[in-house]
Amino acid sequence: MSYHAIRSGSVDCGIVTYDVTGSYNSNTLSFSLTATIHGAPHDGCGLPVASQESETVTLSGGACGTGSAHFVISDPSTASIAMSLRRKAPVTFSRPEGNPEAPAVADYLEASVPPSAKSATLRPLAAQGTSTWTTISPRFVVQYASYIPVDHIAGPTACGVQLQTVTMALGWKAYKGDAFRQTYRTTESLLVIPSAQKYGNLFARGGPTRNYQIPSSPANGLFASLSSTPTGDRWSDPYTGADEDEQRFDCRFWNDKGEADNSAMRGVGVTFGNPITQVNLYGFGQDPLEPRLPGSGIKWNLIVSLDTTDAAHPKAWVSSGTATCYPAHIVKVNGTKIFERQPLQNNTLFLLACLDEPGAVVSPSIPVVVPAH
């Protein structure tokens, strides 16, 4: 904590620094803090200053909230003038869930003298007042997703119609991609609270999978974008558009839909550390509309590092891991993108080769400042 000494005219009496200690009361969610002067009890102009300041900070809310404080500065000597005292910027400190003894990072006080009093003998008065505080305990939603970064891509098998005992192939399947649709192939997310050493709210799901017949579909031509819009739930409700006919398995325009099994998309592991916590997200997903070959599918195994050295401005990055070279992979922390890898190609042969591999090593990403919650 710093105390800005009184300024008289062009004279700056400097800054007096205080060391802050205190204790936390879990019953009242409050801190009792004492600031003791660091060094001699006078400013740069030789004027006496308070040797101690006391505050009681009461928190509101949970991990991230605001609090109020009352401070008292003792009168070191008889004063001859009146002065005003005001609190500058809000203060930030770590939420005590993980470490109740964590020190507070306080702001400073600034005192000013009325112009009429500049000729008087300058001495700080006893003062008291209130201040506002902000509690910050970073919590992170770590999100992973894989997605097809184009409008559609040809599948590996033909689209056929069963005519009595004979299946007639009418063309190849085209799979709907995720470009500009805010959809995904696989996704996994986790809430992590480093200060409490807790994690949970695991979510994992396969995206809505839909295929169509080509070359007679897409309706607007082989290389045109699919004309297809959801009317409600992306997985179960009908779609509208020129490429949607609601006639399943007829190999004419829209052909089939499905959702990948998410039982293998739920791999997590968290190693808490101070100041860096590591989150491991890993999983496996397969196309629900194609033959499921052992080991063939989308694979990811990524380590996300969370650095809370600066609780108000934490950083996150992917520090290591593997992922198949198709499709694209992306990681976000509290809504901020920290990692993305695009495939080198978007074609069927490249897709098949990538899904058969165990997963290629990813390059570490650059640490990015993310929201604290």
* 223-237 b/e (C-beta count within 10 Å ≥ 16 → b): eeebbbebeeebeee
> What single DSSP character describes residue 216?
T
d(CA 178, CA 151): 6
d(CA 288, CA 206): 9
d(CA 149, CA 343): 8
d(CA 302, CA 339): 10
Distance (Å) of CA 163 to CA 160, 168, 215, 216, 289: 9, 7, 21, 19, 20
d(CA 35, CA 33): 7
d(CA 300, CA 46): 65
d(CA 94, CA 59): 12
Model confidence pTM above 0.75:
no
d(CA 198, CA 139): 10
Per-residue pLDDT of the chain (373 residues; tens, 9 = 90+): 444 444 444 566 777 787 878 887 777 777 788 888 888 888 777 777 778 877 777 766 555 566 666 666 655 543 332 333 333 333 444 444 544 444 444 433 333 334 443 444 444 444 555 666 666 789 999 999 999 999 999 999 988 766 556 555 577 889 999 999 999 999 999 999 998 899 999 999 999 999 998 876 678 877 789 999 999 999 999 999 999 998 998 888 899 999 999 999 999 999 999 999 999 999 999 999 999 899 999 999 999 999 999 988 999 999 999 999 999 999 999 999 999 999 999 999 999 999 999 999 999 999 999 999 8
Rg for the chain, CA atoms, rounded? 31
Domain coordinates in residue numbering, the chain: 2-136, 140-214+259-369
CB 47 within 8 Å of CB 5: yes
**In a 10 Å sphere around its CB, with 0-12 CB exposed, 13-18 middle and 19+ buried, how is residue 42 labelled?**
middle
Ramachandran category for residue 98: left, alpha or beta (phi over 0 → left; psi -120 to 50 → alpha):
alpha
- Extract the tokens encoding 63: 């991990």
Q: How far is CA 82 from the centre of its chain?
A: 48
d(CA 85, CA 125): 10
d(CA 222, CA 152): 10
